[in-house]
Structure 1
């Protein structure tokens, strides 16, 4: 009987529509505005999270916007200074603009209550936005196009919910140049105060940071290289360095804010989480990963391993080892991570293991990769974090005498090169030279030995493209046994050698 009743409800839902006013509280809005007009210090208690769009009453949104402009310009916002910016013919429930401002100030709440009132306004605005998203989900579910799958609708709804949770609004559109200018100045101020004076997140490699200014928000950074060059090791090194350096706190609106380093999300599409953890353990303890896997370690090494593992447990590095992800699934999981844990850097190992939509896949791999890289760049902007995405290189590198990679060597290079803000190539000459060892005790062997000594333990990170900086080559040290990159010691800065 219960099943039949449920079936009837599904077949013929109750369509009796009743009008309900969106959640709002005019009195709270009036009380907060009055408090700010009486004491402008109240504005700073809510300005971190409350925006004009969060007010239900349009005139209140306009008044709050005017107050914000005056206070941020270093001026005092009072009913007297504010009334000149309101229309002369304004009528608010029978009151002129000047009279309404005076009434707000007369009925002001205490400054100490400003944050609570601001949070109430903010929460009500989120509820109204949730209602809008819910109505949109219902309408799309009723009237979905033939080529739209339920999975696509779920991912679109999750994206809208993420944007709402992150920003408190989902309207997008144009913004004033003054707002963008303020953000640029704030970024410069943060760089001035941050260790190393970098505008982006420090990678832990000083020479690379000097060339790039750190990893910049909203940038898509491609790390490419042939097999054996160490591109995965390079990415894990950067991810660990950034997560280990993380320091942060909680903003007034409850969101996590990083002040140094960053919270890292790592999509390992090729290796398992255990393999990745073993590799990072090897990098940090300088114990070869094959010895860790086989248990071929001394007691002292095991103690060092355990101590390092305890230290690593506290770092904010999150690994997703799911293989065969689509770009839409990856984006949904990244949004969820930022919403729940925070996120400052996203690493993807690697692009060619991602899949696009079924429509693009049917058009060919090039079109599918184009969709993936375009969506990765859009995701970097949406999340406001740098994305490090690893990519393979074509085999044409092997056919040249000089094996240093170029932009044209990128697989499906058109889209990857176009969408990337930065392209880094990892290159180790030692890898190629080692495979060309001549017969021992010959003239060619001694020349080869000299070349091996010159390049041993060295790697190059070639900056093939950088939208907001120079291109060039950064020399690094590479310990192959533990797959660890580090800054190369400057010969001019080394202590003088003692002569015999």
Structure 2
């Protein structure tokens, strides 16, 4: 694992020198340098109580090091937390106390009582980003003041030329600005080769699927598969088979003959056992109702056993935690991406996620979740399928759903790269397409209209799929009358 800890060589001497300089500056100014002890303790407490390590990961990504903390004890605690992170050890008050003791710093931070006091300051780490922002701002203000103080001191005793002296001062100020801003912008020359390579692959593919196949022929033709970095929203009213189509796509991914795709499913509504039972029935073509009543034949039992063996070896992970927020989702996905190179993520479903801050309006909560899912898709470079609910407008107005019908937030429509809407075909539409009686002859079959309501990199349109409710499985359906 990459070592995110501050450089060890000369660290103690550097910290001691900074402390001395800070005290001298405070004496000169006649007051304390900018700081916020409450924000520092809130941020440290967030790292301690956050079992997902999302807080610590964000702090590290923000280039936070021990010197950002004003209080010496807080610097030592943060250093110990980063050390535990680098050693891939769990973090709590007991482990942190043991680490500080092994570093010979436990007494210096105030003992286990101080650790417990800090950890007990908050009940939730929902506001850690605000505390992180405050800690960073106070650090940069202190750094700027100390740089100005150092400039005054050096100006009085300068022996270099004015140009050399000003260059040193400008370098120090520029260094503060560079540390403050994260490295997100990239020069075009660094990425043009990969973009040209992508264009070349598209040309050479001549229409072949470039991403992960969904298993639905017409959908794959229009989307060319599911692509890394994209958020694909699948929405519909309750009972339209959102979970079923997501599981069918996941099943096709993990059993892809060309290259099985490791898949992670977050199920907030159903247990792992329920999902696996659905997949067993879908994979073995077993009627769920008959199975629940024990009315299956021996040959069908063999089909279930065969499907079970296939699923046991499949690169599939299911997390059925019900009380989970977007930060925990991203932390878990990041970890499994590192461990198993996850290539597809499914969330069932967005509106069931726990909000980070329950006090803000529901629309803002959903918007935060949606942005988090899109950010995760980009960060991990995998397609993320997000299931969502539609509002009741479609039922009241007796029409096909639209992207604007996504429930509780317009942010979902904005963030999504692809939006797929499910809707039952009306009797008139179904009879028009079911000219050979395939659907009418089987009560368990239902024709469903899959509407591609949005696609950033391709066309929109309607696709007809066949849904077998007995085995909760979507299948390709040969259309007899195009309705694009």
> What TM bracket, shorter-length normalisation?
0.5 to 0.7
Aligned position for 2:301: 302
Q: Which of 350, 363, 369 is the matching residue for 2:360?
A: 363
- 1:482 aligned counterpart, secondary structure: coil
Is residue 415 of structure 1 aligned with residue 414 of structure 2? Answer: no
Contact 1:246 1:316 in 2 (8 A): no
Aligned position for 2:111: none
Aligned position for 2:57: 158
- 1:222 aligned counterpart, secondary structure: strand
Contact 1:201 1:261 in 2 (8 A): no
Contact 1:433 1:452 in 2 (8 A): no
Is residue 399 of structure 1 aligned with residue 396 of structure 2? Answer: yes
Partners of 1:450 and 1:339 in 2: CA distance? 46
Query: Which consecutive unaligned segments of at least 5 residues does structure 2 have?
Result: 16-34, 64-84, 86-180, 431-436
Aligned position for 1:185: 196
Is residue 318 of structure 1 aligned with residue 217 of structure 2? Answer: no
Is residue 244 of structure 1 aligned with residue 259 of structure 2? Answer: no
Partners of 2:427 and 2:316 in 1: CA distance? 30
Alignment CA distance shift 1:222-1:163 (3 Å): farther
Counterparts of 1:211-250 in structure 2, within 5 Å, are: 211-245=222-256
Alignment CA distance shift 1:206-1:433 (3 Å): closer
Partners of 1:293 and 1:132 in 2: CA distance? 61
Partners of 2:206 and 2:253 in 1: CA distance? 13
Aligned position for 1:173: 184
- Number of residue pairs aligned between Structure 1 and Structure 2: 330
For normalisation by structure 2, the TM-score amounts to 0.61
CA shift at 1:329, angstroms? 0.8
Alignment CA distance shift 1:131-1:195 (3 Å): farther
Is residue 376 of structure 1 aligned with residue 376 of structure 2? Answer: no
Aligned position for 2:450: 461
Aligned position for 1:427: 423
- 1:245 aligned counterpart, secondary structure: coil
CA shift at 1:369, angstroms? 0.5
Partners of 1:488 and 1:411 in 2: CA distance? 29
- 2:264 aligned counterpart, secondary structure: strand
- 2:452 aligned counterpart, secondary structure: strand
CA shift at 1:213, angstroms? 1.4
Alignment CA distance shift 1:410-1:131 (3 Å): same
Contact 1:234 1:484 in 2 (8 A): yes
Contact 2:347 2:387 in 1 (8 A): yes
Partners of 1:270 and 1:174 in 2: CA distance? 39
For normalisation by structure 1, the TM-score amounts to 0.59
Q: Deviations over 1:145-183 (max 9, x none)?
A: 466473367413235779999xxxx96422222332222
Q: Deviations over 1:228-283 (max 9, x none)?
A: 11111000000110111166xxxxxxxxxxxx342110001100000000001111
